[in-house]
Amino acid sequence: MTSTTQMMDDFRLNYEETKLCLGLPGGKNGNEGSDSAAKNNNQGGKRGFSETVDLKLNLATSRDEQVDEKEENVSSGAGSTDTPAKAQVVGWPPVRSFRKNILSVQKGSNAEIGGQNSAFVKVSVDGAPYLRKVDLKIYKSYQELSQALSKMFSSFTIGDCGANGMKDFMNENKLTDLINGSEYVPTYEDKDGDWMLVGDVPWEMFVNSCKRLRIMKGSEAIGLAPRAVEKCKSRS
Amino acid sequence: MCVAPCMMNYFPEEVLEHIFNFVSSHKNRNAVSLVCKNWYFVERFSRDKVFIGNCYAISSERLISRFPRLRSLTLKGKPHFADFNLVPNDWGGYVYPWIEAMAKGNVNLEELRLKRMVVSDESLELLARSFANFKSLVLVSCEGFTTDGLAAIASNCRHLRELDLQENEVEDRRGKWLSCFPDSCTSLVSLNFACLKGEVNLAALERLVTRCRNLQSLRVNHAVPLEALQKILINAPQLTDLGTGSFIHDPLSETYIKLKSTFQKCTSVRSLSGFLEVSPSCLPVIYPVCSNLTSLNLSYASGIFNNELIKLMQHCQKLERLWILDTIGDEGLNVVASTCKELQELRVFPSDLYGVGNAAVTEVGLVAISAGCPKLNSILYFCQQMTNAALAIVAKNCPNFIRFRLCTINPVVPDAVTMQPLDEGFGAIVRACKGLKRLSVSGLLTDQVFLYIGMYAEQLEMLSIAFAGDSDKGMLYVLNGCKKLKKLEIRDSPFGNMALLADVGKYETMRSLWMSSCELTLGACRTLAKKMPMLNVEIINEGEQIDGGSDDRQKVEKMYLYRTLAGPRKDAPEFVLTL
CB contact under 8 A, A44 and B414: no
* Closest to A218 in 3D by CA, of A207, A208, A230, A228: A228
Q: Read off the pLDDT of each residue in B67-92 and give the average, rounded to a whole number.
A: 94
CA angle B293, B299, B305 (to 5 degrees): 95
Identify the weakest region by mean pLDDT among B266-280, B328-342, B352-366, B450-464: B352-366
Write out chain B residues lying below 8 Å of A17, CB-based. Answer: none
For residue B388, give the H/E element and its range: helix B388-397
- B521 pLDDT band (50/70/90 cuts)? very high
Distance of CA B30 to the CA centre of its chain: 22
Quote the pLDDT of residue A6. 55
- How many other CB atoms are there within 10 angstroms of residue B123's CB atom? 24
The whole-number pLDDT of residue A125 equals 83
What's phi and psi for A46, nearest 5 deg?
A: -65, 140
Q: What is the pLDDT of residue A41?
A: 37
pLDDT at residue B474 tops 60: yes
| Mean confidence (pLDDT) of chain B | 92
Beta-carbon contacts of A20 under 8 Å, excluding residues fewer than 6 positions away, are: A11, A14, A59, A66, A82, A83, A85, B410
DSSP B106-129: T----EEEEES-B--HHHHHHHHH
Nearest CA in chain A to B407: A93
User: Mutate which of B492, B495, B498, B516 to test chain A, going by most A C-beta atoms within 10 A?
Assistant: B492
Q: A217-231, B142-156, B516-530: which range is least confident on average? A: A217-231
What is the pLDDT, as a whole number, of residue B33?
Answer: 86
From chain A, the residues in CB contact with B195 under 8 A are: 98
pLDDT for B326 beyond 70:
yes
Peptide bond into A186 cis (omega under 30): no
Return the SS3 of A22: coil
- From B349's Cα to the closest Cα of chain A, the distance in A is 8
Judging contacts by C-beta atoms under 8 Å, the chain B residues touching residue A134 are 250
3-state secondary structure of B190: strand
Instruction: Give me the pLDDT at residue A17, please.
Output: 46
Q: Is the pLDDT of residue B54 over 90?
A: yes
Are B95 and B114 in contact by the 8 Å Cβ rule? The answer is yes
What SS3 state is found at A189? strand
d(CA B70, CA B112): 11
pLDDT tens readout for residues B425-449? 999 999 999 999 999 999 999 999 9
For the stretch B171-230, pLDDT in tens is 998 778 999 999 999 999 999 999 999 999 999 999 999 999 999 999 999 999 888 999
Q: Is B565 helix (H, G, I), strand (E, B) or coil?
A: coil
Q: Determine the Cα–Cα distance for residues B455 and B476; give it in Å rounded to an integer.
A: 12
| pLDDT tens track for B532-550 | 999 999 999 877 777 777 8
Q: Chain-centre distance of CA B143, in angstroms?
A: 15
Summarised one tens digit per residue, pLDDT across range A196-214 is 888 888 887 888 888 888 8
Q: Which is higher by pLDDT, B336 or A72? A: B336
A175 neighbors A206 (Cβ within 8 angstroms): no
User: For residue B441, what is the nearest residue in chain A, using CA coordinates?
Assistant: A94
pLDDT for the residue numbered A177 = 42
Q: Mutation test of the interface with chain B: which of A88, A98, A104, A132, choosing the one with the most B Cβ atoms within 10 A?
A: A98
Q: List, for residues B250-266, the tens digit of each pLDDT value.
A: 777 788 888 888 998 88
Position A154 confidence tier, pLDDT thresholds 50, 70, 90: low
Interface of B with A in 278-307 (CB under 8 A): 299-300, 302-303
Q: What is the pLDDT of residues B397-423, one digit of tens each?
A: 999 999 999 999 889 999 999 999 999
In chain B, residues with a C-beta closer than 8 Å to the C-beta of A99 are 167, 299-300, 349
B274: Cβ contacts below 8 Å, ≥ 6 apart: B194, B219, B220, B242, B243, B244, B245, B247, B297, B300
Lowest mean pLDDT among A43-57, B167-181, B230-244: A43-57
Indicate if the pLDDT at residue A216 is higher than 90.
no
The answer on pLDDT for A9 being more than 80 is: no
**Quick one: pLDDT band at residue A46, thresholds 50, 70, 90?**
very low
Identity at B526, one-letter amino acid code: R
Residues of A in contact with B349 (CB under 8 A): 95, 99
Of A40, A96, A102, the CB nearest to B141: A96
DSSP H helices, A62-210, are: 63-76, 97-111, 142-152, 162-171, 175-179, 203-209
Q: Which residues of B touch A43 (CB under 8 A)?
A: 85, 89
pLDDT greater than 90 at residue B170: yes
With CA atoms as reference, the chain B residue closest to A110 would be B303
Residue whose C-alpha is closest to residue A39's, from A30, A51, A49: A51
- The pLDDT assigned to B511 comes to 96
CA angle B287, B329, B307 (to 5 degrees): 40
Interface contacts A/B by beta carbons within 8 Å: 155
Query: Residues of B with CB below 8 A from A16's CB?
Result: 419
Q: What is the mean pLDDT of residues A90-108?
A: 84
How sure is the predictor about A105, in pLDDT bands with cuts at 50, 70 and 90? confident
**Which burial class, exposed, middle or buried, applies to B154 when counting CB atoms under 10 A from its CB (0-12, 13-18, 19+)?**
buried
- Verify whether the Cβ–Cβ distance A94 to B466 is below 8 Å: yes
Which range (A210-224, B74-88, B304-318, B340-354) has the least confidence? A210-224
Q: What is the mean pLDDT of residues A68-93?
A: 48
Which residues make beta-bridge pairs with B429? none
For B552, phi then psi, to 5°, come to -60, -30
Q: What is the pLDDT of residues B131-159, one digit of tens each?
A: 999 999 999 999 999 999 999 999 999 99
Count Cα neighbours of B271 within 13 Å in the Cβ-side half-sphere: 13
- Which B positions 9-68 lie with beta carbon below 8 A of chain A? none
Task: Give residue B379's pLDDT.
Answer: 98
| Choice among A14-28, B85-99, B144-158 with the minimum mean pLDDT | A14-28
